Amino acid sequence: MGKKSDIISIENVTYEEVKSFLLMEYGLKIQENQTCQVLGMHIDLQDLGYAYDYARDFLEKEALEEEHPFYKEVDMRNFNIVVDICTQPWRPCNDFMPIIADQMGRHISFKFKTKVVIAFENGEIPFCMYDKGIKIKDLKEYYKDYLKGKAWQPTEIVGM
């Protein structure tokens, strides 16, 4: 798996631009201490309180459709911004964080034409974003079972 040290720094986007975009698009306020200027820009999703409802709605209405772009490879030319996923198990919205992070990462990448990668707070990057797109193994099956009340871990997520 990739590590945060693999991520190059921001070149063409300022922290304030992304912060303003997230506030407008998601109503999400980002604190100054949630960034890491050395490795690039970090967006911490741990305070995204509506993540559970948003993700469930997203999954039930859109993402379970086979043709939905969530399951297709997308062009990700850049990895300049890190979307950190909070991994504390006691947070009720934790299980849906990958969905939120993926959507947010795609929006930011498209808006600012910059590099975005999704990472756990321990430095692991479980979602591989290549120049030709993102490829996640077993994520769809995980969420299908989760919505049926069956909790399990993805058997394998493609690494870098």
- Write down the domain spans for the chain: 4-135
Count of Cβ atoms closer than 10 Å to residue 61 Cβ: 10
Cα distance between residue 20 and residue 114, in whole Å? 16
Residue 59 Cα distances to 22, 70, 75, 151, angstroms: 21, 10, 22, 16
Q: pLDDT at position 20, please?
A: 72
Asked if residues 13 and 78 have their Cβ atoms less than 8 Å apart, the reply is no
Q: pLDDT at position 70, please?
A: 41
Residue from 123, 116, 30, 42 nearest 74 by CA: 116
Share of the chain above pLDDT 70, in %: 1
Tens-digit pLDDT profile for residues 101-159: 666 666 666 666 665 666 555 544 444 343 333 444 444 555 555 556 554 443 333 33
Q: pLDDT at position 114, please?
A: 60
Please report the sign of the dihedral spanned by the C-alpha atoms of residue 137, residue 139, residue 144, residue 145.
positive
Asked if residues 114 and 80 have their Cβ atoms less than 8 Å apart, the reply is yes
- DSSP H helices, 5-158, are 15-26, 51-58, 97-112, 139-147
Tens-digit pLDDT profile for residues 73-109: 433 333 345 555 554 444 444 455 666 666 666 666 6
Asked if residues 61 and 147 have their Cβ atoms less than 8 Å apart, the reply is no
Instruction: Report how far apart the first and last C-alpha atoms of the chain are (Å, whole number).
Output: 5
Asked if residues 127 and 98 have their Cβ atoms less than 8 Å apart, the reply is yes
Q: pLDDT at position 148, please?
A: 62
HEC string of 3-14 equals CHHHCCCCCCCC
Q: What is the DSSP letter of 2?
A: B
